[in-house]
Structure 1
Amino acid sequence: MSKDQPAPGDRIKAKKSALVQFTSTTLLLEVFLVIFATMVVWALRDSEFGRGPLRIDSGAAVWALGGVLCLVLVILSRAQGTTAGRAAGTVAQVPVLAMGLLLPMMYFVGGIFVVLWFYALRLGSRVDRERAEYDAAHPETAPNVS
């Protein structure tokens, strides 16, 4: 018996969904993006340089907005196992992009993350579909679902 092939009766652990892994990771990376963008907005609150059309001069308000968005993104990263969680993650891309109102560079960087989000949805679905097709064609190596 080959080392790559499981022995008869071996339990093969089911793989985690690639869709869930990709979307959760993207949302968690966006948390870091929002934290860093919040720090920049906070540091520039008394400056005209690099500011967007929406002005928030209160440091507490800047941190409150950034903190709430970070908290929402962390919670949504844990909810990616459901269709509703992925829909909410898609809606959460709007405030990430809207941070460009505070910091214009966020239109660009947030836009990159929005593209990554939709790519994670597309690629994750494709990987899960191909895994399912492979498992159906090779039941001897398919994970045991108990």
Structure 2
Amino acid sequence: MARLTKAQREWRPGMPKKRRSTKVMFASTVLVLEGFVAFFATLAVFGLRRDEFPPALILSAGIGLSLVLVLTCAVLSKPWGVGLGWILQLILIFAGFIEPMMFVVGILFAVAWWYGIRTGIRIDREAGQREREQAEWEAAHPEDQSN
């Protein structure tokens, strides 16, 4: 027997679908892409610098960072989730001290993160305003509702 999620258990016919956050979607996209970049950067550092750093340290730190980047997507809707994302942006930039090209990659991803958060907030705000206006119109014009 399949277990239902909380949302599935609470659903009733006629309930409006909860709108997903564009900010969370944009931020998640950036974090997943950064996770892939961190993984491949780990492989590059492993191949180029394994004489300078212990290979186990390179692999564990790099794969760990990749996993944290991807798993952070799950907490982006929490108040502290975006703050954690900003900390991860700094870590990715500071990876440039190990592999200098990561300064460029990290800064470019930080710009993409900032833009995704800023644009997502604006889109979410506009969508919320449209929903409120639609609800007001529907309340003022019940005769126009055809079901």
1:46 CA drift (Å): 5.2
Structure 2: gaps spanning 5 or more residues: 1-12, 139-147
Question: Is it true that 1:131 corresponds to 2:98 in the alignment?
Answer: no
Q: Which has the higher helix share?
A: 2
- Pairing 1:1-146 to 2, within 5 Å after superposition: 11-45=15-49, 56-139=52-135, 140=138
Scaled by the length of structure 1, what TM-score is found? 0.78
Q: Equivalent residue of 1:44, what SS?
A: helix
**Aligned length in residues:** 124
Q: Distance in 1 between matches of 2:38 and 2:67?
A: 10
Q: Runs of 4+ in structure 1 displaced over 3 angstroms?
A: 9-12
> Taking CA–CA contacts closer than 8 Å with sequence separation of 6 or more, which of the two structures ends up with the larger relative contact order?
1
Structure 1: gaps spanning 5 or more residues: 1-8, 48-55, 141-146
Q: Equivalent residue of 1:124, what SS?
A: helix
Aligned-pair identity in percent equals 35
Scaled by the length of structure 2, what TM-score is found? 0.78
Q: Distance in 1 between matches of 2:27 and 2:80?
A: 13
